């Protein structure tokens, strides 16, 4: 072919290609991209124990994004992809899945599990008004009181340190003005309901998903085993919502004491929507996440007495020995802050974030993310990304201390609190509670390995529970006041 005619033919092809692309851009794009889901294992079995470790391994094999076709599930293994999707594209990644089992178990009234809807928006806005950063100081009195009580419990009955469920008590003190100990039926009901709810959300009950009419059958009917869990859970949620609420309102009306919930309930009298929002605050946080972080801190300090001593030296230098730390001291204690940050990094209470459901088809990094996909940030591997945290399995507070920007970065950098519009709504309160406990324990107590009868140090396996809420397994530790002065300080502040 002559050069001129071949030029004409090539130009013609180019023009047609451009025209086709111009005329059918969407069809062409979706045709190509719908074919390319992110990579992932084929028909894998998803483990119920340490699922975050399996997700991390898949991340090493397949990359930042791991898609499981059978479950329409996308696992996010680095902060970059979690921020890109859950924060930058929050408009389409903020819904939650609501299965038949969850509905039967009463999940629709649990704010953190609600669909991305006007009801959720109303609850979130209402909750934020009272739990945003600038409102944090409202909780200081309760936080000091509960933290000081916690120190007292630790030296009074040190062998029961695992049971000093301070934060369950704290949330009841903050919200309802109630003093609830770990043996209190209210606290036990909250913990029991939390486990039932976790089963309803995380375990699969395929019969009720496939045959919704089974909910009308008696519980002995084949395939109706789900009913027992669902009924107990729904009843538990109702009780957790209403019993402390009623006591708090009654206390206010009879002049026995006031509380945040009681005051809000009184303001909302005659307004059933607001009243429901007030009640929903109760179940918002009844997962013992704060407690898990505090338990991880106690364990880490027992394992690392050198780090403990270094933090104690900082506290002694900045605060001295004749008072306990206060929130005003926080910015002056960078090493204590680094310990707190390292605990939240290495031991996120929920290593796998609550799934965000996508509400539209999306394309990201050349891959198709289908509508209705459960998008799960694997907080565990995000916090162990060696490119961000070198030597990630080592407990090393210095990584924050020596970072060019130092340890006092934005709370958004604590990935344990989740991402985007569904990020933990109680994080400022949780952050303050954990920090105050960390600083107060370090200021007054020594945590060491326990010794056996022969005087040998008892080994600490450092093991954790392996289901959705990660918590250290029981171990033996020696907890003693640093000296007589610290002991007196603990007794004096616990009496206040």
Q: How far is the CB of 95 from ligand HEM (least distance, A)?
A: 10
Q: Is residue 112 near ligand HEM by the rule CB under 6 A? A: yes
Instruction: Give the interface segment with ligand HEM, choosing from 48-56, 222-230, 254-262, 288-296 (CB under 6 A).
Output: 288-296
142/164 Cα distance (integer angstroms):
16
Q: Quickly list DSSP for 360-428.
A: S-EEETTEEE-TT-EEEEBHHHHTT-TTTSSSTTS--THHHHTSTT-S---GGG-GGG--GGGS-TTHH
Q: Is residue 285 near ligand HEM by the rule CB under 6 A? A: yes
Total chain residues near ligand HEM (CB under 6 A):
26
HSE-up (13 A, CA, CB side) for residue 395: 18
Q: How far is the CB of 432 from ligand HEM (least distance, A)?
A: 10
476/363 Cα distance (integer angstroms):
51
Pair of tokens at residue 170: 């704290």
Q: Which is nearer to ligand HEM, 227 or 378 (CB)?
A: 378
Pair of tokens at residue 391: 């030597």
93-130 b/e (C-beta count within 10 Å ≥ 16 → b): bbbbbeebbbbbbbbbbbbbbbebeebbebbbebbeeb
Return the residues of window 356-385 that contact ligand HEM according to CB under 6 A.
356
Phi, psi of 446 (to 5 degrees): -110, 130
Which residues fall within 8 angstroms of residue 226, CB to CB, at 6 or more apart?
A: 101, 104, 205, 207, 208, 214
Q: Which is nearer to ligand HEM, 112 or 147 (CB)?
A: 112
Ramachandran region of residue 50, left (φ > 0), alpha (ψ -120 to 50) or beta?
left
Angle between helices 226-253 and 166-176 (to 10 degrees): 50
Q: Which residue number places its CB atom closest to ligand HEM?
A: 426
- How many CB atoms within 10 Å of residue 58? 21
Q: Is residue 429 near ligand HEM by the rule CB under 6 A? A: yes
Q: Which is nearer to ligand HEM, 177 or 481 (CB)?
A: 177
Q: What is the 3-state secondary structure (H, E, C) of 225-293?
A: CHHHHHHHHHHHHHHHHHHHHHHHHHHHHCCCCCCHHHHHHHHCCCCHHHHHHHHHHHHHCCCCHHHHH
Q: Is residue 432 near ligand HEM by the rule CB under 6 A? A: no
Q: How far is the CB of 46 from ligand HEM (least distance, A)?
A: 19
Q: How far is the CB of 168 from ligand HEM (least distance, A)?
A: 10
The residue from 354, 359, 449, 480 that contacts ligand HEM (CB under 6 A) is 354
The residue from 52, 58, 93, 127 that contacts ligand HEM (CB under 6 A) is 127
Q: Is residue 293 near ligand HEM by the rule CB under 6 A? A: yes
Instruction: Give the interface segment with ligand HEM, choosing from 11-19, 178-186, 205-213, 413-421 (CB under 6 A).
Output: 413-421
CB of 437 closer than 8 Å to CB of 166: yes
Return the residues of window 142-171 that contact ligand HEM according to CB under 6 A.
none
CB of 187 closer than 8 Å to CB of 172: yes
Q: How far is the CB of 261 from ligand HEM (least distance, A)?
A: 12
DSSP structure class, residue 161: G
The residue from 244, 397, 407, 418 that contacts ligand HEM (CB under 6 A) is 418
Instruction: Give the interface segment with ligand HEM, choosing from 14-22, 24-32, 348-356, 382-390 (CB under 6 A).
Output: 348-356
The residue from 180, 336, 350, 442 that contacts ligand HEM (CB under 6 A) is 350
CB of 377 closer than 8 Å to CB of 56: no
The residue from 284, 346, 369, 442 that contacts ligand HEM (CB under 6 A) is 284
Q: Is residue 130 near ligand HEM by the rule CB under 6 A? A: no
Query: Between 441 and 470, how does the x/- string for binding to ligand HEM read (CB under 6 A)?
Result: ------------------------------
- How many CB atoms within 10 Å of residue 140? 13
Q: Which is nearer to ligand HEM, 175 or 442 (CB)?
A: 175
The residue from 430, 436, 439, 445 that contacts ligand HEM (CB under 6 A) is 430
The residue from 325, 349, 351, 407 that contacts ligand HEM (CB under 6 A) is 349
Question: Which residue is it, tokens 């008072």?
Answer: 323
Q: How far is the CB of 260 from ligand HEM (least distance, A)?
A: 11
Pair of tokens at residue 49: 């124990």
Q: Is residue 423 near ligand HEM by the rule CB under 6 A? A: yes
Q: Is residue 426 near ligand HEM by the rule CB under 6 A? A: yes
Q: Is residue 290 near ligand HEM by the rule CB under 6 A? A: yes
488/491 Cα distance (integer angstroms):
5
Question: 75 pairs with which residues across the strands?
Answer: 66, 376
Is 224 annotated as ligand-binding?
no
Torsion of CA 485, 491, 494, 496, to 10 degrees: -90
Instruction: Give the interface segment with ligand HEM, choosing from 313-321, 357-365, 416-424, 461-469 (CB under 6 A).
Output: 416-424
200/213 Cα distance (integer angstroms):
18
Q: Is residue 419 near ligand HEM by the rule CB under 6 A? A: yes
Q: Which residues are annotated as a binding site for heme?
A: 424
List of residues contacting ligand HEM (CB under 6 A) = 111-112, 124, 127, 131, 284-285, 289-290, 293, 349-350, 353-354, 356, 416-419, 422-426, 429-430
Q: Which residues are annotated as a binding site?
A: 424
């Amino acid at each position: 072919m002559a050069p001129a005619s071949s030029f004409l033919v090539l130009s013609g092809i180019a023009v047609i290609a451009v025209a086709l692309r111009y005329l059918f851009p969407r069809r062409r794009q979706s045709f190509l991209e719908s074919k390319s889901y992110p990579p992932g294992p084929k028909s894998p079995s998803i483990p119920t124990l340490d699922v975050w470790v399996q997700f991390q391994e898949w991340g090493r094999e397949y990359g930042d994004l791991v898609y499981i076709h059978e479950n329409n599930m996308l696992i996010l293994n680095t902060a970059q992809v979690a921020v890109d999707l859950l924060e930058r594209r929050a408009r389409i990644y903020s819904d939650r899945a609501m299965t038949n089992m969850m509905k039967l178990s009463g999940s629709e009234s649990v704010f953190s599990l609600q669909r991305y809807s006007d009801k959720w928006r109303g609850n979130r806005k209402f909750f934020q008004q009272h739990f945003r950063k600038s409102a944090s100081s409202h909780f200081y009195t309760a936080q000091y009181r509960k933290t000081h009580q916690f120190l007292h419990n630790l030296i009074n009955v040190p062998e029961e340190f695992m049971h000093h469920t301070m934060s369950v008590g704290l949330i009841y003190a903050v919200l309802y003005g109630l003093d609830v100990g770990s043996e209190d039926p209210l606290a036990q009901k909250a913990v029991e309901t939390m486990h039932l709810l976790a089963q309803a959300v995380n375990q699969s009950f395929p019969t009720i998903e496939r045959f919704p009419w089974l909910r009308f059958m008696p519980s002995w009917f084949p395939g109706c085993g789900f009913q027992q869990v669902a009924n107990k859970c729904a009843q538990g949620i109702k009780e957790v919502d209403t019993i402390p609420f009623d006591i708090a309102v009654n206390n206010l009306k009879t002049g026995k004491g006031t509380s945040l919930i009681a005051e809000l309930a009184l303001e909302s009298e005659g307004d059933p929507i607001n009243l429901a929002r007030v009640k929903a605050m109760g179940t918002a946080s009844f997962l013992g996440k704060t407690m898990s972080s505090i338990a991880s801190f106690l364990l880490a300090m027992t394992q690392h007495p050198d780090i403990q001593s270094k933090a104690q030296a900082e506290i002694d230098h900045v605060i001295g020995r004749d008072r306990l730390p206060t929130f005003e001291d926080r910015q002056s204690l960078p090493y204590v802050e680094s310990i707190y940050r390292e605990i939240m990094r290495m031991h996120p209470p929920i290593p796998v974030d609550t799934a965000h459901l996508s509400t539209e088809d999306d394309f990201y990094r050349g891959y198709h993310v289908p509508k209705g996909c459960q998008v799960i940030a694997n907080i565990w591997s995000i916090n162990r990304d060696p490119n961000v945290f070198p030597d990630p399995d080592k407990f090393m507070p210095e990584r924050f201390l020596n970072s060019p920007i130092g340890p006092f970065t934005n709370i958004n950098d604590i990935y344990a609190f989740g991402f985007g519009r569904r990020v933990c709504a109680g994080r400022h309160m949780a952050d303050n509670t954990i920090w105050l406990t960390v600083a107060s324990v370090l200021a007054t107590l020594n945590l060491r390995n326990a010794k056996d009868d022969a005087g040998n140090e008892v080994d600490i396996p450092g093991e954790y529970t392996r289901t959705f809420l990660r918590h250290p397994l029981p171990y033996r530790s020696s907890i003693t006041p640093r000296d007589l002065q610290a002991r007196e300080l603990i007794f004096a502040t616990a009496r206040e």
